[in-house]
Each structure stands twice: as C-alpha cells, then as structure tokens.
Chains A and B, each alone.
Chain A
Amino acid sequence: MPLLDVRDLSVVFQRKGTAPVKAVDGVSFTVEPGQTVGLVGESGCGKSVTSLAIMGLLPRRGNKVTGEVMFEETDLLTLRPQELRDRRGRDIGMIFQDPLSSLNPVIPLGVQVAEVLERHQGRTRQAALKQARELLDAVGIPDPARRLKEFPHQLSGGMRQRALIAIALACKPRLLIADEPTTALDVTIQAQILTLLKELVDDSGTALVMITHDLGVVAGLCDTVNVLYAGKVVERAGRHQLFREPRHPYTDGLLQSVPRLDVDRGGRLHQIRGSVSDNIPWPEGCAFAPRCDRVIDDCIGDTVPLEPTRAGALRCTNPVPREVPV
C-alpha cells in the first residue's frame, strides 16, 4: 500500500469579481514508503499549490480543494485543523524554498527545534534542547551548542536551510515534502544540501516528495518523476526511463532545451515555441497543444486523459515514438 495516494486533486482559486483559476487540475500520484518522488514543471504549473493542498496549508478562504489525499488510511482533506496540525511535523515534515519565511525570526533556533519535539514527542524542554543540539549537529551546522541560542537572521541561507531540515526531520516523519529546497541557494551550497537530504532520507527510510523546476536535481535524486504542465500531470516514469525515452513532447522538448555542462558547446539550443502564459486560461484538450510540434486534430477539443503505460503514465494523443531497437 502506498504511503501517500493523491487522487484527482484539484484546486480552484476564486476571488469575487474575477474568473476562477484552476491551478491544479486532477493531479494523481502515489508515494511508496521510503521512495523519492519528483514533481517537476515550470513556473506556475501548480507544484506549490499541490503541496500546500496536500498539507492543508492553503488559505481557508478563496479556494476550493477537491479529490482525496490518502496518507495510509486517512484522507487528509477530511481532517479537522487540529488533527492535521498533529500530523504535520509528526508524520509529515516539510521544507520550503525560503527558510526565513518558515522560521520564526524572534525565537532562538534551539527553541524552535525543541518545540517540535515537545509538541509531538512529549519531551521536556531540557531533553528537547539536548536532542535539538544533536539534530543541528547531524545536519552539519558547526558548533551546534552555540547555534541553539542564535536567531535565524544570524545564519547564512544554507545554514538556515539545514536548520529547517533539522526541524522537519526532528520527529522522524515518514514523509517529507520539499518545495524547491535549494532554488535560492548557490550551486555549491545546493550540492551540500542535496547530499545531506539524500543521506538523511536513505538512513531513516523517510519518503520524499521533491518539488523542483531543475531537471538536473531530479535526475540525481528521484525514483519516480511526475512532469506537470498547466496544473496536470502529463507524464510519469522512473527517472532512468524518463530521461532516456521521454514520451510527452513537452518532456522531450524540455530535456533538449537545457544546455548541459557535460556536452560540448553546440550551436543553437532546441527551443519550445511560445510560452505558458500565451494561453491562459488553459485551453480544453491538451494545454500544450499551442506549443507542440506533434499536434494533431485529436489534441484539440476533448480532454486528453492520463493513461497508464508500461513505464508509468502519459497524457498525450501523439507521443514521441519509442526508439525501435534494431
């Protein structure tokens, strides 16, 4: 049984006087215990809204969430706020792009880590602080005993992200959701943080949902990858399969359009024409159709369903053909 089973999740934002915005449109995916699952896609495709909806962190008003978010036996969408808060931190940890916004600026770091342990594991303050120091040490923060008394703004971005990882993993959750955890960091710091995350989830058996726009990050980290476009999953496959043989024209185009460090300087890059915002509201049929080189009549009009494939799933009427083995 999967640890997390997201079924047909949709989020519609509605404000008075404006047209409703369907930011997430029937997203389904599963996460097995201990597995690392990637959600990739470009800006605005609904990655963050998906994760916020799973965690019950969307604003109370102005949006409508439908579908199911099964965490083991429980549908998180049906829980009362208090029950959900208990789950967060204990069963599910999370890390965001900007650690400053998720850390409290006026509370010392040590207390912030300790509070999680007190709340969810009933530790005394003293025991919790001791464990907090061990946690900071485990995520590679130098001189952790002194750091306990310091405030988030006294640390660099990379150190703050480490602190946030310590908090998220304090109660040994079974699931960790990381939304662009390294996007704001420099690449050498990103390498530190990704290596740390990988070690921690490998050691503890925590499942990880990795949200990123960086295909390179996905390539090194995720067992299964979900590619999102315009609020929908358009392709899902194991990472080796996806990168070797992308079937959706969007995935294929994306992979060809990134310059690669390990490939000799070529001429022009492959480019996908147009841009996502050229076509809001997202059209009926395939949302990628206006930019797609393989578009045929069937792509326009009727909704294109996400169909299971041998590798995973695919939402495309005219996918990139498989390479035929000679």
Chain B
Amino acid sequence: MSDTLVRIDDLKVHFPIKSGLLFDRTVGYVYAVDGVSLTVRRGETYGLVGESGCGKSTLGRGLLRLVEPTSGAITFDGTDVRSLKGEQMRLFRRRIQMVFQDPMSSLDPRQSVESLLVEGLKAHGLHKNKAEAQKRLRSTLDSVGLPASALSKYPHEFSGGQRQRIGIARALVLGPELIVADEPVSALDVSIQAQVVNLLGDLQESLGLTYLVIAHDLAVVRHISDTIGVMYLGALVEEADGDQLYERPLHPYTRALLSAVPIPDPRVEDRRERILLAGDLPSPANPPSGCRFRTRCPWSQTRCAEERPELRVFDDSGQRVACHFAEDILSGELRPHEVHAQLVRPDAGHTPDVGNELIVTRTDLPAP
C-alpha cells in the first residue's frame, strides 16, 4: 500500500462569467483554483488555509468532483478520479466524505437524525438489513459522543456543537477513508470548537482516517494538521509541516498571515511585530500577472510582475514555496519596501442583493 492517498496535479477550476440577456456569452473566468499540486499521505491531516475567496472550498469540491475541474489530475489510492463515470463514480464517492461549516444548513431540518443517516447508507447500497443498519447507526453515534436517543430527534433540537457531531456522524457512517472537512469548527463557539477538534483527533486515531481540513483559522489548522498548505488567489504559495511553517515562514504572504493572527496572551501581543498588508485580495477573475501576491507584497521586484513563481522545494526540510526571492528575503538581503493599497472592487458574487437590484433598475447610478 502506497503512502500517498491523494495526489492532485496542476488542478484548475475556472468558473465562466456569463453575460448578455439573449446569448449566454462567456465574458471571462473566475480563476478559483489555478494550478494546485499537492499530495496527502495516508493517515495524515492536511490543512489548507487562506483568506476568503482564495479557492479553498473549490479545491475541496473539485477533489470530489462536486464541481468539475477544468484541467489537471486527481489520483485517489491509485484510482484516476477524473476518468470515473456514472455508477463507478457513485460507488467511489463513499470513500471520500465531506463535513461542512454550518451544520444546520447542511442538514435537512425535516429529517430525523435516523433518516439522515439511513439515507446515506441506502444511497451507497450499505443498507442490507434493518438490524445491522441500526447497529451501525448506534455505534457511529456513540463514536461521535451522542446517545442513541438522538436518532429520533431533529436537527433543530441540538446545539451547534451537537449538530456538527451529527454532520460528522453522517460522513462516518459510510466508512470513508478520507474526510474533507470544510471549515468544520468556524461556526462554533470557542468552548465548543475544542470539543469538535478533539473529536476529530480521536476519530482519526481510532479509525485511521485521513483528513483534508479547510479552514481560515491558522491557529486551529496548526493544532490539527501534520502538513499545512497556504493558498492565495487560487494557488498554493507555501507548504510545510506546522512547526516548520510557524518557525520559518518563507513566503511573504505566510509571514503576513502569521503575524496577523491575534494571540490570546497580552505579553506576546505587546511584543509582536506585525507585517500589515496594504489593500485587499485582488479579484480571482482578474489576477495580477506574474506572482499573484505582488500587488501587496512588501518585497516585490520587477521580475515578480513578469514571471509566475513556481511552487518549488526550498531545501531538505521538504518545505515548498512559490516566491522568486525566498532565499534573499530569509537572509535579510532583500529589504521590504512600502506598498500602496490598490483598490479592489468586490466580486459580482459578493455584491449584496440590494446592490444588484439597484444596478439593474436604476440607470442613474454608476455601474460597479
């Protein structure tokens, strides 16, 4: 059995931007995921971090082919996932399960917990007989720390943390090998977050699961991950094991990200140096040329606008970084300079409804 469970090669997911009333003309693309390569080892937790809109969820969904990738290769346990068709794909899906951020919105409020779980079993042909299924449901609930009496209840009867346990149970009951958890704790209060983080850890240990955890909270990701990948605007900019990433961040974006995370200790906070980034994340529909980070990078040089840095292995530690000047920045040879904020327009997708209404109905207002 090979050590690698998932291999993603130069994966791209581009969403067409349509326009026109009569003709569905494609006027551009959102480069949500734009050339990501990574491997996840069996039994490890791979954490993906990055800011809102950088393509984390799209990468996770592309891996399961919940959105069809534009190009690139996905290999899961030796199987070429992108070539699977129909029934094959359906059977394959059982092996990778997803856990979502908001347990309430991903659970059908009219279904009891039992019917939610049974539904999954049936869909994957795992519902052989009732007694056996019941046994399976009970042991799954037990493993996520819920009593068997939960079976007859409905999602709204549970607290946020308990609902997330149900979300995890729904994934677990199918006996997956990989769990893709998209922001599994970010909707939860701190005291409940710890319960769910611990639960995920316990389950990994007892069931030998592999996790791809997607989250924007770097402290949570560092706690649970063996390997961390940092994404910026559709691409990985750095990858390392958690301690290494914290001890020696190489990419300017990782440095800024690490320095921005508040630490609940006044003694540390008072002594911290922050690298404040100018401006906002550029739109993934219109990414900068060359290095995507260059518009906000305090170390950027002319070359950064001309040539896109590849994600390369930096040294024997295996740490990977996508920056032309990582060595010079690390040694201090290259000094940071001032950056002026560039104005970034919010994406159409992020425009509030009222804004859209206005644009359509009021010609006296300027277009966005």
Q: Is the CB of A259 within 8 A of B265?
A: no
Q: Does A195 contact B (CB under 8 A)?
A: yes
A150–B266 CA distance with the chains assembled, in angstroms: 39
| A33 beta carbon closer than 8 Å to chain B | no
**Nearest-Cβ distance from residue A262 to partner chain B, whole angstroms:** 5
Determine the residue in chain B with the shortest Cβ distance to A275: B159
A188 touches B257 (CB 8 A): yes
Shortest distance between the CB of A227 and any CB in chain B (Å):
12
**Which of chain A's residues have a CB closer than 8 A to the CB of B52?**
186
* Contact status B198-A156, CB under 8 Å: no
Q: Are A142 and B279 in contact (CB under 8 A)?
A: yes
Contact A153 B351 (CB under 8 A): yes
B125 at interface, CB cutoff 8 A: no
Q: Which of A42, A186, A195 contacts B189 (CB 8 A)?
A: A42
Which A residue sits closest to B191, measured CB to CB?
A272
B277 touches A192 (CB 8 A): yes
> Is the pair B223, A216 in contact by a Cβ cutoff of 8 Å?
no
Residues of B close to A153: CB separation below 8 A:
346, 351-352, 354-355, 358, 368
Within A133-155, the residues touching B (CB, 8 Å) are 140, 142-143, 149-151, 153-155
User: Is B261 within 8 A of A275, CB to CB?
Assistant: no
Question: Do B354 and A257 touch (CB < 8 A)?
Answer: no
Residues of A within 8 Å of B368, CB to CB, are 153-154
Contact (Cβ within 8 A) B216 A275? no
Could you mark each residue 251-281 of chain A with 1 if its beta carbon is under 8 Å from any beta carbon of chain B, else 0? 0011101111110111111111101111000
Q: Take A154-B346, A159-B280 as given contacts and tell me if A42 and B263 are in contact as well, using a CB distance cutoff of 8 Å.
A: no
- Nearest CB of B to A137, in Å: 12
Question: Given A215-B190, A278-B159, is A143 in contact with B343 using a C-beta cutoff of 8 Å?
Answer: yes
A266 to B259, CA, bound (A): 21
Central interface residue in A156, A187, A266, by most chain B CB within 10 Å = A187
Q: A275 to chain B: which residues have CB within 8 Å?
A: 159-162, 189, 191-192
A219 contact set on B, CB distance < 8 A: 262-266, 268-269
Q: A179 to nearest B CB, angstroms?
A: 17
Q: Per-residue 0/1 for A233-262: is the Cβ within 8 Å of any B Cβ (1 yes, 0 no)? A: 000000110010000000001110111111
A241 nearest CB neighbor, chain B only = B266
Contact in complex: B222, A265 (CB < 8 Å): yes
Across the interface, do B346 and A156 meet the contact criterion of CB distance under 8 Å? yes
Closest 8 CB pairs of A and B: A216-B262, A153-B355, A259-B223, A220-B269, A191-B260, A215-B264, A257-B194, A186-B51
| 9 sample A-B contacts, Cβ–Cβ < 8 Å, listed by A number | A154-B345, A186-B216, A216-B262, A219-B266, A243-B265, A243-B267, A254-B190, A269-B198, A271-B194
